[in-house]
Structure 1
Amino acid sequence: MFKKQHCGFLRPQDSARAVNTANTTASAFSKFPLAMAMISAGFSPSVTFANESKGENTLSNAIVITAPSVESPVTTSVDLNETPALQSASDGASVLTQIPGFSAIGNGGTNGDPTFRGMFGSRLAILTDGAQILGACPNRMDNPSAYINPAAYDEVSIIKGPETVLWGPGNSAATVRFERKREDFSEKNSRFEASAMVGTYGRFDRRLEGAVGNKKGYIRLEANESEANDYKDGNGDSVASAWDKWNTNLAVGWTPDEDTWLEFELGRGDGEAKYAGRGMDGTKFLRETAALRFEKTKLSEHWSKLEAQFNYGYADHVMDNYTLRSLSGMAMRSELDRRTQSGRVSSTWDYDDFSLTSGLDAKQEVHRTGITADSDGNEDYSQQQLGIFSELTWYMDDSQRLVGGLRFDRYRATDESNSSSTAGDTRHKTLSSGFTRVEQDLTSIPATFYIGLGHAERFPDYWEIKASNSSLSGAVNAFAGVQPEKTTQIDIGLNYKVQDLTWWISGYAGYVEDYIIFDYSGSTTQVGNVDALIAGAEVGARYQLNPQWSTNTSIAYAWGEDTDNSDPLPQIAPLESKLGLTYELEKWTTNGVLRLVAPQNRISEDRGNVVGYDFDESAGFATLDLNTEYRVTSYLTWRAGIDNLMDKAYTEHLNKAGNSAFGYAANESYLQPGRMVWTSLSVKF
């Protein structure tokens, strides 16, 4: 059998047999990228680690080893259900910021806009079960992660850099996938989950999920709601940050045999959010989604999988300055919506030494503005994309793999507005992306090394190209002037494990031609292109002190420079480190996480992105979080935590400046929450 004893990679035809022998290969670090992402971020999941000598399962905060991994070492996966530190997360961004390299541009208490390695927006693709819902707000008040309730998903995986072409175009920073596990009723006919969390500042979350089925099909229903009041910062001052949002989802699945799966899903949600860093609040976040997913495996000797999915997403967003705050000045209200339809079809073929995945994907989006009770509004932007992709893995020998991919995308974007100088104009563009990567299992040490070269070409998104923005290039507006962004990047890394010590490092360096940048120095927002250099690294390590105690650490740093003007790239988070200590004994798991953030002095004043810009340098800070988990029974789990234990008054570098309606100066950033205490109960059977 073709197995890697220390990295867990298999040829496709061996994966089924490997599942049965996985518990005897605990020395393999098959889930090493997953483990280090968890522990270096201070996670403490309740998971199983196979004991080599006795073949028993013991609790560990490190690794889930149930089957060898066939994922790339550039992929990090986190179990969202078994990670106590994530229980207080209110959206997708607050989950991602726990992982080294991620930050978020803060607005208030929820709906931050995630960044990775200093890269923002559509450079970072965020998918839920393979689909992407795009918000309607022209300033990304409802960015894609705002519509994600982490409790509704089982796992999030991150593919760093332009190192895949399978999940859409232009994902130069990373591809993020929130996924649910496939329903399995082969041994039982129902399952039920419920949880509730309460915390300071009126935090109250509740969730129900249930499913019934058999070997032929199932029905799943899920509902959740999360709310909170304005929090108080470390100085005891109230910060505008309240929110209330809910989501429901219904799925019907058909599984006529073990090789066929068809699922139809409907979803709906809404909410409101108060923003300390904006001139208006979000008073409506209506989400309506539908998806049809199909998968067929073992079609022939080499045709191993056929996948297809078709998705519909609708976002209806309202913002105003009087519903959630005291009116100051003129009343303002705006309602916008966006419809997104997408589809993807792919096939995988497996041979002795090769695995090939090829397919097509497409997306169409229409944005409208000026919606009122008496009017459906007017279209102001539309875009269509059609792509073809192929990705190949060559298992060169027992210890070396060569992975490569290529995709081509055709775009059509139209300025549908009736008042701009480019009204009715259409842009057409064909872009290409690709990568190649070598993965080597080292023989001298138990480690896997990889190095990859990737190139991603990204068409400007709606927020960057909307006709209301001025162009830095001298064109009539941004729609005419902003050019596609082209990133060429080297990714390199090493994953290592020996006995009680595990560590990893991943680094990157790249050149971005026509980097899209916003300039806020004038009376109007201008958008244009510059050339840029980017570089950085993430490092993590874990050491098992004894069977009960383990320690872990991580460091993440991102750097960028505008080479046209010899200025730093704006909106890049500073150097950050986390130090964690974990104690585990039978049913208990307890974590302490010290977060250390350096000052950020490399700024580019009045420049940034559609959400934020650099207005001042930021000070460093340190915070301490504690959380604990007690597994009362196999069905019932109690968790509790204290975030910002020392009640530190601090602000994140990427926080927006506070709005003057709440008493903030133009260059004064609002502060993060002070001490927050929470506790939760969850039942699952």
Structure 2
Amino acid sequence: MRVSMSVLATALLVATRTLLAAPIELERVEVEGQRIDPVPTPAGRVDDARMAPARSTTADSASLLRDVPGLNLRSAGGTSSLPVILGLGGDRVRTTVDGMDLVASCPNHMNPPLSYLDPAAIGRIQVYAGITPVSAGGDSIAGSIVVETRGPRFVEAGAEPEWRGEAGLGYRDNGAAWRSDLYLAYAGERFAANYSGAHAQSDNYNAGGDFKTSTMTGRDGHTLPLDEVGSSAYETNNHALTLAWRGRDQLIEAQFGYQDTPFQGYPNQRMDMVDNRQQRMNLRYLGDLDRGTLEVRAYHEEVEHRMNFGPDRRFWYGSNAGSGSPCSPIRFMGDPAGSCAAGMPMNTDSSTTGATLHLDLPLQGEDLARLGVEWQRYRLDDYWPASGGAMGPGIFTNIRDGERDRHALFAEWEAHPAARWTTMLGLRYEGLSTDAGEVQGYSAAPMAMGNQAAEAAAFNALDRKRTDHHWNLAASARYDLTETQVLEFGLARRERSPNLYERYAWSTWAMAASMNNTVGDGNGYVGDPALRPETAYTASATWRWQSADAARHLELTPFYTRVNDYIDAVPVGVFRVDQFNVLRWANQSARLWGLNLTAQARLTETAGLGILDLSARLQWQRGENRDTGEDLYQQMPASARLTLAQSRGRWTSALEWELVSAKTRVSGVRNEIPTTGYGLLHLRGGYAWTQVRIDAGIDNLLDRNYDLPLGGAYVGQGMTMSLNGIPWGIAVPGAGRTAYVGVRVNW
């Protein structure tokens, strides 16, 4: 079935025209908050109050989601952690920022959507795990993260315009990390504007003890202590400007954003980001109609992404470089005078253009219909300039003229069929097409390393264009068992098409393949244009209980997901145990299941102690490849967080105990590294005056040495160009004892 964009839009536009023809009598637009809380209930909400303590103490926006049930973070760069929902991460999670569907443009997934936001710029985050409304889903199978930045504010009619501001400064001793941010806002009756800017930087962090056996980096005169995590430094700058105009019944908003990241290291990748520049524009119209609410949005993003070997990796290669010494001039393999290579530059340029039209229609009683049309055009070029040695004399085109286009139409019905029932039923169609142009290796010579010429010719001879049709369905219900108990349950069918790297990375040459790795396991990856979309079926239920006085709370959520055509990996050529290998993405079958539990109880409330609360979060999950019987990659082992929190007047404090069991169920095809169990203590506190807030704390209070279960393989130093030129079997460690302090001032 093939559905054109014009057909997708027709029904919605006809309905919109009818609504616009009716008289408009509403006096103002609601510009903050969600109008109706849909079913299913989000697995987690992070609002302004929850983010306030973290805005000056972290530069990683994904870290704001640590307390969301069912969500974990996969390690990447210092500002680029990757959310994993119910055991599924990467592009399987849909992340929208102010309605923009942004795409990671990097063969190592270094620039995910959340990395373009400083925590101080975020106003609210909602996370849907498993059962996701079709209005918030699409081209994903794990769940959705919906991010809203700090929006415009207006004064009441007749009031004087207002200026507001906020500034923050933070420091972490582990890595000597500094961050600063500034927020300025103007609020008028009709016009509003705000600006947010932030700078963050850090050196490498240290683990809680020695975790490796070598100090060598491959650079003359440069070594790293055995407890220092190489390639974990970063520096980033973010700027955003919002302009808004409000009429009696409408809002027009324009957002402009810019990021400049001069450097960000990646301990579980063979390359570092040596420059990343993003420019984005987002235009929005919101109108309250006589019979509903209309939102129209158009956005555009440009990304220039650059990678190379950072300061903790060997940079000089070739016979004239010896063991890594600088050499000159640049010479290519086969030169009688020897060879000399200066690093390995890898460039990625991308553009994303999108538009959405959403319509909320109140129906009879409290029922609501949500209708929408979405469109996106994504273009990508990934190319590696010649640098000497085997890298040349031409340009290696990893992906040329990559295309990934989406169009979607959805309808969703939220109903209240009885006093205690709320239901949601949604259907979403999505058409998605991908394509890529012809490629070439560094050299067209028949004897060039890695069989480049023959593999490029074979890839170019393929029919590379693919068209997929997705049908997503979601059905959920909420039943109020009593005044204090709620039962929520649902079923969902979701589909995701492979990304461009999964389909079009073409070279099996170990050096080239190892630079295509979106999962941080140290292996090399090759794509397959014939990959089919993943199809996930999820069943989930949640039981919630809250005491009548809201002093105690308990929530229990089991889930089960089966994924047909799950994109896993198979070996290319000879597979070697306890080494890094070249793998190919392949469709298989998988299942994931687990249980999430959260609880909270008020222990006491007195004048002397204030309020004392005890909370717990427990997680258990499994993931299995149904074709091979192996465990899926990077499944979080059983874990728990126990927090004793106190609040007394302006003072807040908390002592947290983090427990993680050993990870013994690992992916065999990836030679995934097992990790041992550990327990950590964290201490934090804060004090707030009217206009000043101070937050401080110590993470890993006892300075434990531990490995991150989702940290991947440590490849952050040494001769990382060579697939097995660095030792296998070292996991990325967590940070040792880290003290931090942050100050915020508002006016």
CA distance in 2, matches of 1:136, 1:66: 30
Alignment of 1:90-239 (within 5 A): 90-187=59-156, 189-200=162-173, 201-235=175-209, 237-239=227-229
**TM-score normalized by the length of structure 1:** 0.84
Alignment-derived partner of residue 362 in structure 1? 375
Q: State the number of aligned residues.
A: 605
CA contact (8 A) 1:590 1:627 kept: yes
Aligned-residue offset at 1:453: 0.7
- CA deviation profile, 1:126-177 (whole Å, cap 9, x unmatched): 1111113222211212233322322210111101114211134133211001
Return the letter of the residue paired with 1:79: D
1:338 aligns with 2:345: no
Aligned-residue offset at 1:281: 1.1
Alignment of 1:144-543 (within 5 A): 144-187=113-156, 189-200=162-173, 201-235=175-209, 237-240=227-230, 241-257=232-248, 259-271=249-261, 272-297=263-288, 299-300=289-290, 303-322=291-310, 325=313, 327=315, 329=317, 330=341, 331-351=343-363, 352-370=365-383, 379-419=400-440, 420=456, 421-423=458-460, 425-443=464-482, 446-468=484-506, 478-498=527-547, 499=549, 500-519=551-570, 522=575, 524-543=582-601
Aligned-residue offset at 1:109: 3.5
Return the letter of the residue paired with 1:631: A
CA distance in 2, matches of 1:326, 1:562: 37
CA contact (8 A) 1:568 1:603 kept: yes
RMSD over equivalenced CA pairs, Å: 2.6
User: Unaligned regions of 5+ residues in structure 1, if any?
Assistant: 1-15, 17-64, 472-476, 608-613
CA contact (8 A) 2:133 2:426 kept: yes
Alignment-derived partner of residue 73 in structure 1? 41
DSSP 3-state at the match of 1:567: coil
CA distance in 1, matches of 2:717, 2:743: 38
Return the letter of the residue paired with 1:438: A
DSSP 3-state at the match of 2:637: coil
**TM-score normalized by the length of structure 2:** 0.77
CA contact (8 A) 2:44 2:69 kept: no
CA distance in 1, matches of 2:715, 2:396: 31
Aligned-residue offset at 1:71: 6.0
CA distance in 1, matches of 2:250, 2:385: 45
1:163–1:71 Cα change, 3 Å:
closer
CA distance in 1, matches of 2:186, 2:554: 42
CA contact (8 A) 1:162 1:172 kept: no
CA distance in 1, matches of 2:496, 2:480: 33
Aligned-residue offset at 1:67: 11
1:452–1:439 Cα change, 3 Å:
same
CA contact (8 A) 2:176 2:203 kept: yes
Instruction: Please identify the structure whose Cα radius of gyration is greater.
Output: 2
CA contact (8 A) 1:283 1:323 kept: no
Return the letter of the residue paired with 2:309: N
2:637 equivalent among 574, 588, 613: 574
Alignment of 1:576-595 (within 5 A): 576-595=639-658
Return the letter of the residue paired with 1:118: G
Return the letter of the residue paired with 1:341: T
- CA deviation profile, 1:357-405 (whole Å, cap 9, x unmatched): 0010011101112276999987341011110001111111221011110
CA distance in 2, matches of 1:625, 1:413: 46
1:181–1:106 Cα change, 3 Å:
closer
- CA deviation profile, 1:254-278 (whole Å, cap 9, x unmatched): 1022x31111111111111122222
Return the letter of the residue paired with 1:227: Q
CA contact (8 A) 2:56 2:168 kept: no
1:254–1:372 Cα change, 3 Å:
farther
- CA deviation profile, 1:441-482 (whole Å, cap 9, x unmatched): 112x512111101000111112321242679xxxxx744321
Return the letter of the residue paired with 2:111: D
1:417–1:104 Cα change, 3 Å:
farther
Aligned-residue offset at 1:571: 1.6
Alignment-derived partner of residue 546 in structure 1? 604
CA contact (8 A) 2:253 2:283 kept: yes
Return the letter of the residue paired with 1:518: A
CA contact (8 A) 1:469 1:524 kept: no
Residue range with higher mean Cα deviation, 370-379 or 495-504:
370-379
Identity %: 21
Residue range with higher mean Cα deviation, 154-163 or 573-582:
154-163
Aligned-residue offset at 1:524: 3.0
User: Unaligned regions of 5+ residues in structure 2, if any?
Assistant: 1-25, 27-32, 211-226, 318-340, 387-393, 441-455, 514-525, 576-580, 606-610, 720-725
1:668 aligns with 2:668: no
Residue range with higher mean Cα deviation, 67-76 or 420-429:
67-76
1:624 equivalent among 668, 681, 689: 681
DSSP 3-state at the match of 1:661: coil
